[in-house]
A and B are shown apart, each in its own frame.
Chain A
Amino acid sequence: AQSVAQPEDQVNVAEGNPLTVKCTYSVSGNPYLFWYVQYPNRGLQFLLKYITGDNLVKGSYGFEAEFNKSQTSFHLKKPSALVSDSALYFCAVRDSGGGADGLTFGKGTHLIIQP
C-alpha cells in the first residue's frame, strides 16, 4: 500500500519569507511524487512533479520541491512567499509500478501568508 503524510495542518509564514510545506511518503517501489494546490471553492491545480532525474524539481508560481530518497520526503518550498500563495496544498504519490491504488493524496496543509 502507498501513503502520504503531511504532518502540519497549517503553516503560517510572513510575506517575503521562505516557506516550506512538508511531505513524506511510503511506497513499495519507486515513487512518483506530486504537489497540487487548491484555492477556495476551486478544484486542485497541478504545481509540480518528480518522476526521475534531478532531485530538485521546479514548478509553477516559483515553487520547487526536493526529493530525498533516504528520508522519503518531498517538501515543497518557495524562497519568498506571497500573500496570494495562501491556499490548501496537497502532496500526492503513486508507485511507479502502477496498480489500482492510483494516486494517493495527503490530507492537505493550509498555507497562510501574512502581510
Chain B
Amino acid sequence: DTAVSQTPKYLVTQMGNDKSIKCEQNLGHDTMYWYKQDSKKFLKIMFSYNNKELIINETVPNRFSPKSPDKAHLNLHINSLELGDSAVYFCASSQGQWGEKLFFGSGTQLSVL
C-alpha cells in the first residue's frame, strides 16, 4: 500500500549505458516530479509533469527524459550515462502543480562506474 513507489532501489551500471527508473503513485495525484539528490544531500528539481504540462529544469541535460504512460506513472529514462549522474533520484507526487504537500518515494541510488 506504498503511496509512491519507485524501482529499482539500487542501480549500478557502466558509463555509456541507457537505464530507466520507474515510479508509480496510488494517491490519485495529478502531478509527479523527479528530484536529484547529490552526495552532499542537496536536492534539486529535475522535472514536474501533469497530464497537461511538462516543466523541465533548464539545467537538466537532454539525456534525461521523463515518460508518463498514464497519470499514475512517471518513469525517468537516462541515455549515455556519465559518472556525474551518480546520485539518489527521488520521485514525488502532489495534488495540483506545485501542490503544498509532496509525497516522496524512497529513492533510487544510481551508481555509474
Contacts and interface: CB of A to CB of B under 8 A. Distances in A.
Given A45-B104, A102-B55, A90 B43 contact: yes
A104 B35 CA distance: 11
A34 B44 CA distance: 15
B95 interface: no
A100 interface: yes
A36 B107 CA distance: 15
A32 B100 contact: yes
Interface residues of A, number: 23
A100 B55 contact: yes
What DSSP secondary structure best describes chain A's contact surface? strand
Given A49-B100, A51-B100, A98-B98, A42 B43 contact: no
Interface in A35-73: 36, 38, 41-46, 49, 51
A88 B98 contact: no
B98 A102 contact: yes
B11 interface: no
Nearest to B56: A100
Given A41-B107, A43-B90, A94 B41 contact: no
B106 A42 contact: yes
A103 interface: yes
Interface in A78-106: 88, 90, 94, 98, 100, 102-105
Give the one of B48, B101, B102, B106 with max A CB within 10 A: B102
A34 B92 CA distance: 15
Interface of A: 32, 34, 36, 38, 41-46, 49, 51, 88, 90, 94, 98, 100, 102-105, 107-108
Interface of B: 4, 33, 40-45, 48, 55, 90, 92, 98, 100-107
15 contacts: A36-B102, A41-B106, A42-B107, A43-B4, A43-B106, A43-B107, A44-B43, A49-B100, A51-B100, A90-B43, A102-B33, A102-B55, A103-B45, A105-B42, A107-B42
